Chains A and B, each alone.
Chain A
Amino acid sequence: MKKRLLLAITSIALATGASGIVHAGKSDDTLNVAIDRELESIDNYYNTAREGIVISRMVWDALLYRDPATNEYLPNLATSYNWVDSKTLEFDLRKGVTFHNGEKFDADDVVYTLTYISNPENGAKPARNVNWWDSAEKLGDYKVRLNLTKEFPAALEFLSGPIVMYPNEYYAEVGPEGMAMKPVGTGPYAVTSVEPGKRYKFKKNDNYHASSPKGQASIGNIVIRTIAESNTQLAELFSGGVDWIWKVKPDQAQRISAQGQFTVKNASTMRIGYLNFDAMGRHSENPMNDVRVRRAIAHAIDRESIVNALVGGESIVVHSLCFPSQFGCTQDVPKYDYNPEKAKQLLAEAGYPNGFETPFLAYRNRDFAEAMINNLNAVGIKTNFEYLKYAAFRDKVQDGGSPFNFGTWGSYSINDVSAITSHFQSGGKDDYSKDAEVIKQLGIGDSSVDPQVREDAYKAALSRISDEVFMFPLWSYNTWYAFSKDVDFTPTSDEIPRFFTAKWN
């Protein structure tokens, strides 16, 4: 009798608690997604995480939309645009679009959004996305004019992605704190629940405007959870608690693929890895000041092997400080082959026949760093390796505290050289060479609107960077995706998964 009672109690308990274990997925039209970090805010202008960009595309729209396949700029919230002159853009806006809270979309929203975020006091991040225009004017209920501060060729790139439109009445009332708790946009998915940093729930927007280049969403509900531990993400995938994960480590992805129970896909990203050297002596007098030493290191690293064995996937070796698809990026620059003998020669010429010791800083991909350290050891260079968290790494580098470091940059998926090369080599905080010629050429490229002028200037800058090895580009990064066989999903090479294109199988 007691035993039966115990059994009954256990079953009831399991049943009531079981709502936590019943796995969603195709059966209740809910895609469960796991990400690995906490978002500081879901408000598009107050977070800098990749996941924030992903969510932004789901919940909000921009005036234009860059087609990930053709890189064309298609009309979204704007039906057409016109360059009145090199510093003035005019837009005709789409009629009949409503925000998730019923507010109508019109010129007031555009003007309010653009004015609010370009005001430095409001602290929208990152600053470089929002600091290139002076003012926005309303020319009519559905017509807007944007006055740029200077000639800014990447304007369309920004207006087709990160610059999304907010509802003016709502945002004026609740501000970033309100938007972070209850986001409102025009996008294909509406946010139904926000547990900051923990979990976000989304529902398909049935009123999404039919002429959007993003298309209509198929999956009805999406839940995005933060699970920091990679093994836990895998366990959730295996037990059905989660249907879709990304940034799977290559060794893990291979084995999951081999098991055959889940779909595993790989796509390139715009992120590239690089080595940064103290060419100008900003940190101190050290071997990196000498171009021969830098060239030696360029010859010492076996990038091909590291890419094949460790980075894997769709990654390739890159020769210029940019990702090949970015506008202005060319691989037609001085190249360095893997040649440890030549490296030793150059080191001897520079006065280090027996090598030397140097600090070496990194914040991610410890194993890639270790493989490079191995390469360096082979030519006599010993490293004092320090592996820091990103915040500490960034601070130390930008403070001038690191003569030699390994970093990566994703360009915020902006398909333009100005988003990476100019960031690192225009005399800013990460610039350890501050070369006058490079700075000049990048300046020309960044400010001209003539594509040919831009390409030539960028090529000149990239060639000089390569020749002097101010920074040494390593490889492109890739991302592994693993998801349930019920899901039909195709990754894009800009590292922005578009859930509104995903379907059930």
Chain B
Amino acid sequence: MATSDSQTSAPNKGFDLLRRRVRGHQGMIIGSVIVVSVLLIALLAPLLAPHDPYQQDLLKRLVPPVWDSRGSWEHVLGTDHLGRDYLSRLIYGARISLLIGIGAALISGIIGTIMGVMAGYFGGRVDMIVTFMITVRLSMPVVLVALAVVAIVGGSLQVVIAVLGLLLWDRFAVVMRSSTLQIRSMDYVAAARAVGCSTSRVLMTEVMPNVVNNLIVITTIEIAHAIILEAALSFLGLGVQPPMPSWGLMVSEGKDMMLFEPWLITIPGVALFLLVLAINLMGDGVRDITAPENRN
């Protein structure tokens, strides 16, 4: 627990603790509110979106949002370069971004957790192999892998999720490994083994429940990471394919108009930023509550 280098007398310490918990809670509350809102928006998209996000209108291209003098309430956030309503695309884009984030985190989470726990629990050769694979993965140029996969299999939402899933497992593996290492040396694990529990049982009942907290924290980080990475891949043309409205794709499609109609980038950019910020706050909050001593 961090200490201030001066006044740490007893009454202040208690007050500090309380203040800290409240402050931590604040972040988590804000984060959760935003994330839940985005989730609801994504789920209720058909009810909320004023227009069909795929419907083009070549006569109403690049209409600015309502606050500009040339804007109108018909398209509150304006239209894109093909005349599609921006607000509707933003709303439906929430689905895509969340799908990608959660899907990629799920895949990479499963891969990384299995590898990390195995490495941490069995040690020795298994650990060496897993560590080696992690290092190789860290040294692989992400762009090359993404491009090769797209070239071989073609681009689509599933491919993007798969590629991200295959690239983001390393942090899961690292954290799960170190958590498992810690747990493995605990008494209750030794006890379970002494009693004769099979390896898989020990893993399931003793190891997993105790690494779950870290797992949750890492998952939130990687969801945010996947969402951002998709935006970067879209910039290079390797992300979600048009006309699907992912926020990352909207940012990359608006790039050419950046100097003239900046709202094309700012709006989805702010959406991405808020979502990522919120997920981070939520993750911090979960960690604070479950294991405050791990605050970093």
Contact = CB atoms under 8 A, between A and B. Distances in A.
Establish whether A and B are touching in the complex (CB under 8 Å): yes
A374 interface: yes
A127 interface: no
Interface stretch (A165-173, A247-255, A412-420, A473-481): A247-255
Contacts of B154: 384, 386
B237 A387 contact: yes
B203 to A, nearest CB: 42
B259 A371 contact: no
B241 A385 contact: yes
B243 A386 contact: no
Given A251-B81, A370-B242, A392-B151, A231 B255 contact: yes
B260 A255 contact: yes
Contacts of B258: 231
B61 A309 contact: yes
Contact of A371 (B82, B237, B256, B260): B82
B257 A371 contact: no
A387 B238 CA distance: 9
Interface in A385-417: 385-389, 392
Interface in B238-273: 241-243, 255-260
B242 A310 contact: no
Given A367-B81, A370-B82, A251 B151 contact: no
B32 interface: no
Given A310-B58, A387-B237, A366 B256 contact: no
A389 B61 CA distance: 26
Nearest to B57: A309
Nearest to B80: A367
A373 interface: yes
Contacts of A251: 61-62, 81, 256-257, 260
B243 A235 contact: no
A230 B241 contact: no
Given A251-B81, A373-B243, A385-B241, A234 B259 contact: yes
A377 to B, nearest CB: 8
Interface string A358-388: 0000000011001101100000000011111
Interface in B194-248: 237, 241-243
Contacts of A234: 259
A306 interface: yes
A386 B155 contact: yes
Interface of B: 54, 56, 58-59, 61-62, 81-82, 151, 154-155, 237, 241-243, 255-260
Given A249-B256, A371-B56, 10 more contacts: A230-B256, A234-B259, A252-B257, A308-B58, A370-B56, A386-B154, A386-B155, A387-B237, A388-B151, A392-B151
Closest 8 interchain pairs by CB? A309-B58, A255-B260, A374-B56, A305-B58, A386-B154, A249-B256, A370-B243, A231-B258
5 contacts: A251-B256, A306-B58, A386-B241, A387-B155, A392-B151
